[in-house]
């Protein structure tokens, strides 16, 4: 293996080990077992996903209501125009 490639592998391994050390430090600070932390994170992600879905549904409903209101306004305007024309 060329020397540069060995150095790159070594640096990557050092960064990986540093990240592992940081994770262990955080786990110690939180004071919960890693599987419990993992489950909490999973629950948070699922909740976030559900919230996004609900937000999308609410946005779609608002859009549909807006379109419906526009259609109703157009119908009312056409009705008023017809009434005005028949009164003349």
Question: Which residues of the chain fall below pLDDT 70?
Answer: 1
- Whether 37 and 29 have beta carbons less than 8 Å apart is answered as no
pLDDT of residue 47: 96
pLDDT at 5: 82
User: 0.75 cut: is pTM over it?
Assistant: no
What's the first-to-final CA gap in the chain, in angstroms?
96
DSSP 54: H
Structure confidence at residue 6 (pLDDT): 84
């Amino acid at each position: 293996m060329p020397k540069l490639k060995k150095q790159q592998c070594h640096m990557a391994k050092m960064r990986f080990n540093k990240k592992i050390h940081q994770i262990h430090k955080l786990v110690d600070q939180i004071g919960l077992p890693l599987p419990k932390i993992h489950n909490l994170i999973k629950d948070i992600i699922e909740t976030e996903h559900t919230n996004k879905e609900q937000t999308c549904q609410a946005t779609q409903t608002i859009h549909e209501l807006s379109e419906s209101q526009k259609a109703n306004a157009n119908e009312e305007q056409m009705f008023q125009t017809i009434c005005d024309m028949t009164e003349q």
